[in-house]
Amino acid sequence: MDYKKAFEKKKLLTSGKGNTKTAKNQRITYYLSLQPVDANSKKINLCKFSTKECRAQCLQYAGRQGFTNVVMSRISKTEFLVNDNQAFVDKLWNELQKLNKSKKQSAVRLNLLSDVDWVNYFDTYGYDIETLSNIQFYDYTKDHIKLLLHKVPKNYHFTFSFSGYNWDKCKKFLDSGRNIAAVFKNALPLTYQGYKVINGDLTDERYLDETGVIVGLRYKVPRGKKYEKNNFVIDI
């Protein structure tokens, strides 16, 4: 299939107005929604630091993300990426450039469900995210390599995510003034493991958060799933 031709009149970025979380943002927001983990024809893992527990509780099954038309759109975009990397990145960059030229500042979350290393992708094809100075990029990630080995662009904010098995890395990031996100089963505590917890469900604008805190997210029940106690969801 010629995905480049199929997407000539289709956009990769989606307006955040239709998403429960990003719709709360004050800044106009767009996101890119791809299939998580290796749910693609090439079996390329787009969430290489995911765990069995977080895969089982993935938001691809929750709310609007589970609707058939949304899933099909996500699948087609993912197939475009894994089958024609450069054409996908070129198109995505063109869309981002158009946003960057707007008079209004915008925010872009490039990994709604995936955990792709977009800084590396753009660098590979000769694009510099920092030139898109009118866009605030942000993402949640379990990929500590993004934060430790790369030069993080000034306009790209990352919140490291607790997986259930990476508390040692979470603690190091917290102690260095970075934030981590964690999912809680019940009401958010004021503190956890000695660190302040803030409510991450009020808005998705993580780049506005105070630093050195845990961004608490309430557990959302995935469609067709039943909660079972696990390491990913903090049940206290």
Residue 212 has pLDDT above 90, yes or no: yes
**Mean per-residue pLDDT, 6-21:** 92
The pLDDT of residue 224? 64
The pLDDT of residue 32? 97
Spans of all domains in the chain: 3-234
Residue 199 has pLDDT above 70, yes or no: yes
pLDDT band at 207; cut points 50, 70, 90: very high
Mean pLDDT of the chain: 91
The pLDDT of residue 62? 57
Which tens digits make up the pLDDT trace of 115-127?
Answer: 999 999 999 999 9
Dihedral over Cα of 203, 205, 207, 208: its sign: negative
Comparing C-alpha atoms, which of 139, 138, 132 is closest to residue 105? 132
Residue 225 has pLDDT above 80, yes or no: no
The pLDDT of residue 146? 86
pLDDT band at 89; cut points 50, 70, 90: very high
Q: Taking a C-beta distance cutoff of 8 angstroms, is the pair 80, 46 a contact?
A: no
**Mean per-residue pLDDT, 187-216:** 97
Full-prediction pTM beyond 0.85? yes
Which tens digits make up the pLDDT trace of 23-75?
Answer: 999 999 999 999 999 999 999 999 999 988 877 766 556 555 555 677 889 99
For residues 136 and 64, the model is more confident at 136
Please, which residues have CB within 8 angstroms of residue 174's CB and are 6 or more apart in sequence? 180, 195, 212, 213, 214
Residue 144 has pLDDT above 60, yes or no: yes
The pLDDT of residue 65? 55
CA distance 194 to 183: 16
If residue 55 lies in a helix (H) or strand (E), which one and from where to where? helix 52-56
Which tens digits make up the pLDDT trace of 176-194?
Answer: 999 999 999 989 999 999 9
Residue 81 has pLDDT above 80, yes or no: yes
